[in-house]
Each structure stands twice: as C-alpha cells, then as structure tokens.
Amino acid sequence: MQDPVATLIARLLAQRWLPREDELARRALLDEPFRADLDKRLEAAGLVLREHPYAAHIGVALARAQEKAIFAQDQGWLSNQLQLDRNAMALLVVLWALIILPKRQRQVERQDADSASAQQAQMFAEEKPIPVHAGVSPTLSERTLIADFADKLGGKMAVNVNLGVLARHGFIQRRAGELSEGPLLDLAFDYERTSRRILDGALSDILSPAARAERAIRLAEAPLPSAEEEDSTLPESDTDETAWDAPLAMDAGTDSSPQGA
C-alpha cells in the first residue's frame, strides 16, 4: 500500500531538497490534510518542513525544540551541523546576503508590479504565481568576491576551498567563474530572523551589498544562541548573537553526493 507522506519524507531525507514543481512537494504546499499529516510525522521525529513562498525548493530542518540536543556541545553552541569552520560559515552568510536578499527584493517588486498590472487590466484578475525561477536570482563574480572578502575569510585559498564545500552541499553553483544560487541557499537560514539582523530593519534601503556582507561576517563570527536565549530577547541592532537555521537535510550531503553542484 502506497504512503505518499512517507515517500515524500524519505525523498527529502535522501535527496535533501525537492523542487516546488515536484508532484508530492506541490501536494505538501497545497493540500491541507496532506500537509497536516506531514507536519505531524515530521514533528514526531524532531523535524519541520522548510519552505518559503519565494523559494524554488523545499527541504526538512531541525525543529526548534531539538536544537539544544543537536547544537549544544561541551558547554558551547555549534553554529552548524555540517562541520563548516568559521570562515566557511561566514562565507555562506555573505553569499546568502549578496544573493538571497537582492533576489527577494526583485521577487517582491515583480509580484507587486504584476499585481498592479493585472488590476488595471481587469478588476477580478487571477493572482499570478510568485516568481521563483533562476532569472530573479543574481549571480556573483567569483573573482570579485575573492578580491573583496578573501582577507576577511581566511585568504584566497580558503575561500576557493570553502566555495567548493558549499557547492557540494547544494548552497551554490559554480560555473565559468560565476556563483549562483544553489537549491539549498534560500532554505539555509530562516529569512525573517536572519534578514532582520543583516539588514538591521529600517537601514535596509541604504545598506550597500558590501555593507550587508560586512554585517553578515560579524554575525557569522558570533556564537549561535540557544532557542531559550533567542526567545527571551530579540536584538534590534548589532549584537553578539545570530541564528543559523541550516536544514537537517543538508547533513546527508557528502563530497560524493550526486546532488552537489
């Protein structure tokens, strides 16, 4: 007897991500009873479905209630479960800030423009889907990234090595000296929690990409707060705290994974 919910969970754990267009992924996003069953089963295993209306893929992540059991270690708090060192983690946040934040701005602007055009064309126009295709995601020059941030991220060799590591984990894609979004980059961190820290709320309109990246580096160098610490106080400006929400599904990634870029 087929169990589509179990099949979806197994595929997410094995493949680490699925495109939104996948049949079972679409069902998880649109079928309320199916989603309720999925959430219940994931919760029983200490997991949650990681998805965002603007993300092109879905994955699974640790539930907040399980973070302490996984991240608390030797009276400290791990920043990730992928054995990424400090420089690799900082690089990941820089890439997230330079790719996902502009992408989200483009998506919101494009959706607003489409909605306005549709309303002008007809009073009861159908709402267009949110743009999630690769065309709304900016690309970065690998050479420029290294020139701008190598001295802050361990040097040119360290950045090159860590770019390869992040590509194999599915965060980015490297092609002909260009860096683009990988299937897990948009899911790597909780957007609302992390963007507030990088953009600092009202300063988002005046922060340049370089300033965003500088802020991302400072955040990445800070220790990961426990769920209890973050729930008790939410910083409104620069602090020594940050919150990384790397999906548990990424833990399945290895250098030989066929899903790696």
pLDDT tens, 80-128? Answer: 888 899 999 999 999 999 999 999 988 888 776 655 555 555 555 555 5
- pLDDT at residue number 80: 80
Give the Cβ contact number of residue 125 at 10 Å.
13
Q: Give this prediction's pTM.
A: 0.72
Q: How confident is the model at residue 209 (pLDDT cuts 50, 70, 90)?
A: low
The answer to whether residue 242 is domain-embedded is no
In a domain, 17, yes or no: yes
Query: Is residue 185's pLDDT more than 60?
Result: yes
Q: Are residues 146 and 35 in the same domain?
A: no
In a domain, 149, yes or no: yes
Q: Is the pLDDT of residue 202 over 90?
A: no
Q: Which two tokens stand for residue 204?
A: 């988002």
pLDDT higher than 60, residue 177: yes
More confident residue, 203 or 189: 189
**Structural domain total, the chain:** 2
Are 50 and 100 part of one and the same domain? no
Is the residue at 128 inside a domain?
A: no
**59-75 b/e (C-beta count within 10 Å ≥ 16 → b):** bbbbbeebbeeebeeee
Q: How far is CA 79 from the centre of its chain?
A: 14
Tell me the average pLDDT across 161-175: 96
Structural domain includes residue 169: yes
Q: Does 45 or 205 have the greater pLDDT score?
A: 45
CATH of the domain at 161: 1.10.10
Confidence band (pLDDT; 50, 70, 90) for 142? very high
Percent of the chain residues topping a pLDDT of 70: 66
107 and 172 in one domain?
Answer: yes
Return the pLDDT at 23: 98
Pair 170, 92 in one domain: yes
pLDDT at 18: 98
Mean pLDDT of all residues belonging to the chain = 78
User: Does residue 55 sit in the same domain as residue 115?
Assistant: no
Same domain, 108 and 12: no
Are residues 90 and 201 both part of a single domain?
yes
How much is the average pLDDT of 150-159? Answer: 94
Q: Is 14 within the bounds of a domain?
A: yes
pLDDT at residue 64 above 80? yes
With 50 as the cut, is the pLDDT of residue 241 above it?
Answer: no
Looking at the fold, whether 91 and 196 belong to one and the same domain comes out as yes
Residue 203 reports pLDDT greater than 50: no
Same domain, 55 and 149: no
**Domain span including residue 68:** 4-72
The token pair at 72 is: 């608390």
Q: Closest by alpha carbon to 87, among 21, 160, 23, 17? A: 160
Q: Does any domain span residue 246?
A: no
In a domain, 125, yes or no: no
Q: Are residues 93 and 61 in the same domain?
A: no
Residue 63 sits in the same domain as residue 154 = no
Both 147 and 62 in one domain: the answer is no
Q: How sure is the predictor about 201, in pLDDT bands with cuts at 50, 70 and 90?
A: very low
Look at residue 148 and tell me whether its pLDDT is greater than 50.
Answer: yes
